[in-house]
Structure 1
Amino acid sequence: MLPREAYTDPAVFEWEQQAIFSGWRCVGHAGDIATPGTQRAVGSGASGVLLVRGDDGTVRAFANTCRHRGHELLACGAEAKRRTIVCPYHAWSYRLDGSLRNAPAFNEFDDFNPDDFGLAELRLVNWHGWLFVDPSGQDSDFAQHVAGLEDVVAPYRPEELRIVARHSYELATNWKVIAENYQECYHCSSIHPELSRISPPTSGENLELGGAWMGGWMSIVDGAETMSLDGRSSGVAIKGLSDQELRTVMYLVGYPNLLVSLHPDYVMTHLMTPLAADRTHVECAWAFPKEVAERPDFDPSYAVDFWDLTNRQDWAACESVQRGLSSPHARPGPLAPDEDGVYQFVTRVARAYLG
């Protein structure tokens, strides 16, 4: 494990926000910014991002700060749909491409050049429907960030799926505790009886990937179709999957804040937003093939209820870990052989600490 201060010290948390979360991180799904003029604010302060779909259909990311006096263009978590971006403080307005449209009372000054006051645009990549931003502008090429993943993710065609359900959770735990829990099933037989009946905790193996992501697969027992309480699916299998993909679930950590679970008939994501050293917001989303998602009688609860139950079992454990780590007597312990995924994750974090 990492030292307890990595999970409890506010100074470590602030450093992580500046160093780890200033590089490539997921900020949402392109489907949430569906039409021109749609605007959405993600994060706040140094990590604040404004996502905007332009008239040309392109999604862009801007620092969520007005070029006049720095007021947020939208409050964190807020959404808007309009033809311009308008600061609510002094009504400076911007086109959807970020260029300054109007600065009230400044048009009378000959030396004021609107071209000098466009919004600060950030590097953004739409990868299989997920939006990734690099606020620092200094992280590696995105292709390196996801090296080795295209063949793993592409068969599920997540960009073509339709998100039909979301759950939001606010957890009293550090973001790394959540990611570490996700990276192992050493705990599954203890706290996940429902999951263990459908997917053997000792099945599968972790992948060796060249980029910043990590993860591995677990198998589904014979006679079950997917991860649900009874093993049955009320949806349809994603077209084009191999026999192996139809019998397994792939669990990936999109370092640092996206957890992706690829199932035979749906894709589930957990998007983590760290709020404090001991507090994390998690949005869980379930996406299904369009042909079933668009049916008026489609009920996604077979997947949603299963994972909401599993999530809450995990959240109770993660919050207990956080409380335990708050003890001055907490010391790093050894990792079991089945926790090699945790080792991959904490090693990546430790390397970030070393710079």
Structure 2
Amino acid sequence: MTVVPPAPLDPDQVALSLAPFGHSRMLPRDAYLSDAVLAWEQEHLFGGWVCVGRSSEISTSGMTAQSLGDYGVLLTRDKSGVLRGFENACRHRGHELLPCGGTSEDLRAIVCPYHAWSYRLDGSLIGAPGHKDAVDFDKSAFSLKPVGVQEWHGWVFVDRKNQGLPFAEHIGELEGIVADYDAETLVTPVVHEYDVASNWKVIIENYQECYHCSSIHPELCAVSPPTSGENLEMEGNWVGGWMDLREHADTMSFDGRSGGVAMARLDEVERRTVMYVAVMPNLLISLHPDYIMTHLLTPISPDVTRVRCSWAFPAEVAGAEGFDPAYAVDFWDLTNRQDFSACESVQRGMKAPNYQAGPLAPDEDGVYQFVTRIAQAYQGS
């Protein structure tokens, strides 16, 4: 069993976050401001299963590289469609095999740009220039170092330390919630990227409550009652809940009308609700009747988070002549910016010298679920 050290935080302040709901406090100030805490989170919270994007971003006979903390992972897909993950480091001198954020298609081999060591898409070494006649050079000893990888309903997860829970336990009962949306068949015509001057946890805390909706989201409140729905407590490494649509609304858009069609396998309840889920530690999934929006969070520093927001629709809808995803995209781009402005203000406010973690309101039970998970992790094991 791996022993995790406690986070570099005052344990008494962390314990306040674990008091019963109604008596607890938010996480300590340094949890949002400290470089040392973020380094601990990158090593431990982001050391297990982490979402890195959509399956469609990795083509057959292609590869992509993604940054995870201080180093990257390389994802490849061979001609048979098998996805694999490796440390993005050549076995010769450690040079990155592909710049993080880059993609390549129609590959015959992975070639290191430094000294041209080459690898198959399964990670095995093909050749090392100058070593053909080298004595005792065993190519099988220099395959790329594997990392755990899992595709789930069109999302790709990586376990870079190979120390996470079995993936089925990580997802738990979320599987039964997401399955009917057939997310793996959807296409993603629009992606927005935001650099938010806020800690990653502030963004998730905002996502887990609508206590703020009446104050800053008049457009959202027009199509969804801010006090509707409830949060769930189910098995898995995630938190989430649902909200109703108003009687006149078919989806989340400025007028409540959909520019697409509802997912084919949804029941009547799913067609009248929007589900909001935070899969720990960095994937936010918003399940609408007619589209799925996801936010992929990448911490850059304690007070900067890169958010990659995408909108996915049924292929027959997205491919139809004249389809315009703006009905969903424009609504949520505005809502995102309202949220991110609030999160940035929270981040600035927490820098006040006398700021102390505050209590949670009765409508913030979703925030409590998230905060207690983080606080428990901070205590180590």
Q: TM-score, normalised by structure 2?
A: 0.91
2:144 to 97, 100, 119: 119
Alpha-carbon displacement from aligned partner over 1:59-81 (angstroms, at most 9, x marks no partner): 11111111111111111111112
1:295 Cα deviation from its structure 2 partner: 1.2
Runs of 4+ in structure 1 over 6 Å off: none
8 Å contact from structure 1 (residues 101, 114) kept in 2? yes
Which residue of 2 is the match for residue 153 of structure 1? 178
Which residue of 2 is the match for residue 107 of structure 1? 132
Which residue of 1 is the match for residue 65 of structure 2? 41
8 Å contact from structure 2 (residues 60, 80) kept in 1? no
2:345 to 306, 317, 320: 320
> Aligned runs of 1:174-189 on 2, under 5 Å?
174-189=199-214
> Aligned runs of 1:1-355 on 2, under 5 Å?
1-36=26-61, 38-43=62-67, 46-81=70-105, 82-355=107-380
- 1-structure distance, mates of 2:59, 2:239: 29
Q: Identity rate of aligned residues, in percent?
A: 60
1:44 Cα deviation from its structure 2 partner: 5.1
- SS of residue matched to 1:50: strand
- 2-structure distance, mates of 1:47, 1:262: 31
The one-letter amino acid of 2:313's match is F
Residue ranges of structure 1 left out of the alignment (5+ in a row) = none
Residue ranges of structure 2 left out of the alignment (5+ in a row) = 1-25
- 2-structure distance, mates of 1:48, 1:352: 24
Q: TM-score, normalised by structure 1?
A: 0.98
8 Å contact from structure 2 (residues 181, 266) kept in 1? yes
Alpha-carbon displacement from aligned partner over 1:283-333 (angstroms, at most 9, x marks no partner): 001000111111131100000000000000001001111111112211000
The one-letter amino acid of 2:211's match is Y
- SS of residue matched to 1:178: helix
- SS of residue matched to 1:16: helix
- 2-structure distance, mates of 1:221, 1:188: 15
Alpha-carbon displacement from aligned partner over 1:259-289 (angstroms, at most 9, x marks no partner): 0000000001000011111111110010001
Tell me the matched-pair count: 354
1:47 Cα deviation from its structure 2 partner: 4.2
Which segment is superposed worse, 173-182 or 39-48?
A: 39-48
8 Å contact from structure 1 (residues 66, 73) kept in 2? yes
- SS of residue matched to 1:240: coil
Alpha-carbon displacement from aligned partner over 1:90-136 (angstroms, at most 9, x marks no partner): 11111011111111101111201110011111111101111111111
1:239 Cα deviation from its structure 2 partner: 0.2
8 Å contact from structure 1 (residues 272, 280) kept in 2? yes
